[in-house]
Structure 1
Amino acid sequence: MRALLTRLLIFLVRGYQYVISPLFPPTCRYTPTCSQYAVEAVTRYGPFRGTVLALWRLLRCHPFARGGYDPVK
């Protein structure tokens, strides 16, 4: 079940990367991008903790953020 949920989440993020993201200018303040961070977090930590880490990253990515290199730890 965990592997299926992981695949589903990665599929959804990849769909966003290939379909929706190209329609907007790049705005992510971090490297890797927030969507790539989400894929790495879900792959490394599983669907539950990975989703929490990805959501926390999205909350930190705003116009006043310092940004920079922020890998999944």
Structure 2
Amino acid sequence: MVKAWVLSAIRRYQAGGGSKRYFNLECNFTPTCSEFSAQAIEKYGLRKGIVLGYRRICRCNQPDNPDRIFDPLK
């Protein structure tokens, strides 16, 4: 139940414009950090998925990095 709520919140965030709208930033990664987090939660469950998503977000939004980094969920 909590897992479904968190995934729904991520999808609403994405539908609303994501980091570009809410933080005026663009994700440095493909897939985006929110998509990576959603995939991690779906694949590994809520606890591990949130940890993986948090680690990814901590590496993102480096304004001096103009290129997107391909970093799929493994």
- Structure 1 and Structure 2 fold alike (TM over 0.5): yes
Percent identity, aligned pairs only, is 30
Q: Work out the CA distance in 1 between the residues paired with 2:28 and 2:17.
A: 18
The structure with more helix, counted as a fraction of residues = 1
How far off its partner does 1:42 sit? 0.3
- Say yes or no: does 1:34 pair with 2:66: no
1:6-57 Cα distance to aligned partner (Å, 9 max, x none): 1111001011111252635561111000110011000000000000000000
The count of aligned residue pairs is: 70
Q: TM-score, length-normalised on structure 2?
A: 0.80
Look up the match of 1:72. 73
The alignment partner of 2:16 has SS state of helix
Q: Where does structure 2 lack aligned partners over 5 or more consecutive residues?
A: none
CA RMSD of aligned residues (A): 2.1
Q: Contact conserved, 2:25 with 2:61, CA < 8 A, in 1?
A: no
Q: Where does structure 1 lack aligned partners over 5 or more consecutive residues?
A: none
1:49-60 maps to which residues of 2 (within 5 A)? 49-60=48-59
Look up the match of 2:13. 16
Worse overlay, 26-35 or 52-61? 26-35
Q: TM-score, length-normalised on structure 1?
A: 0.81
